[in-house]
Amino acid sequence: MDHGGVGPYELGMEHCEKFEISETSVNRGPEKIRPECFELLRVLGKGGYGKVFQVRKVTGANTGKIFAMKVLKKAMIVRNAKDTAHTKAERNILEEVKHPFIVDLIYAFQTGGKLYLILEYLSGGELFMQLEREGIFMEDTACFYLAEISMALGHLHQKGIIYRDLKPENIMLNHQGHVKLTDFGLCKESIHDGTVTHTFCGTIEYMAPEILMRSGHNRAVDWWSLGALMYDMLTGAPPFTGENRKKTIDKILKCKLNLPPYLTQEARDLLKKLLKRNAASRLGAGPGDAGEVQAHPFFRHINWEELLARKVEPPFKPLLGFTYVAPSVLESVKEKFSFEPKIRSPRRFIGSPRTPVSPVKFSPGDFWARGASASTANPQTPVEYPMETSGIEQMDVTMSGEASAPLPIRQPNSGPYKKQAFPMISKRPEHLRMNL
């Protein structure tokens, strides 16, 4: 059976096993979980696989507690049995993947040919929202989130699970502001007319070259994505973006990496080691996995034991009384499902409380852009260029009229798009430098 978004070319690993999520594999107690156990409160988001609702449990255990309910046709955990010497029965896999920085799956039930997953409700929203508000993160802020994410990825890798889709939209924050990864290793089947697809849907800017090449991959893809996410946090855009999907893929496979001069030496070195097109030489690809990444000097101030215990104070805390509405819900007032790929909104810098002096030259109306064309590509073999350039490579900007940010943002100008340049300064201003 085919499953949406994940095919043999994408996994490319031997001894792959799939564990279907169902009522019997999730629910542990004697309570019979059914739709009437939950009161529907609101739509949180929607996408190609279905909708996510905010619900309240009205019967049995956890009465009155708020959860998130995700509706799918089918969902599976895909793992590489070769990577883990598991001895527990399959029904305990979901218990094995529990982690402080991974969303908890509480209940599951099936009805009408659909699977309903009841997840912990994360009131802090998407990390994407915080990036939208701030424009960029200072290095100490990025370091905190990247450290928590690295611990979650390392835990999944120990269980033989490759995340494969790390991006700001899939990184949630709990009520305290700590990271929670969603959709860990899940292979989801589309509920749209029962069809499935093996094309790349949604954001591809964070995908490793070997995924785009469809040449098979391993857990090293997650460390490339972590590097792309880090670059996004520190500069305001992923490292390789184009006017459309084909150009974005071409840049990921061929273009040189441009590192802005304001980054610290530690940040520059980590980015170069994570964003290596040769997966075998990528930081984290060795037997140490997450340990290799966490040992990098960029994380030298992190107390990993306290971080795992969530004793380190997050950079941002959700506001009291704030109601989270995901970016994807702007159009969710329509009852009809939409199965178009989600388009990333332009990022604004001006007025950001954490960036009093923007490290990027910006003119009013200028925006960073995300490649959002639905066109596909037949990528060629990636070229291993030196990962840092001596000159300044301009990034393409796409003026899309559609925005998916949760807050009102000005629509891009319809005229010719402009190109941005990093300022030619020897180092980042002192007030913007890493202040751990």
Q: Which residues define the annotated binding site for ATP?
A: 44-52, 70
Active-site pick, 83, 104, 140, 165: 165
Print burial letters for 382-414: b (CB count within 10 Å at least 16), e (below 16): beeeebeeeeeeebbbbbbeebbbbeeeeebee
CA-to-CA distance for 119 and 70, rounded, in angstroms? 8
**Residue 165 known to be catalytic:** yes
The amino acid occupying position 359 is: P
Q: Which amino acid is at 221?
A: V
Query: Which residues are marked as active site?
Result: 165
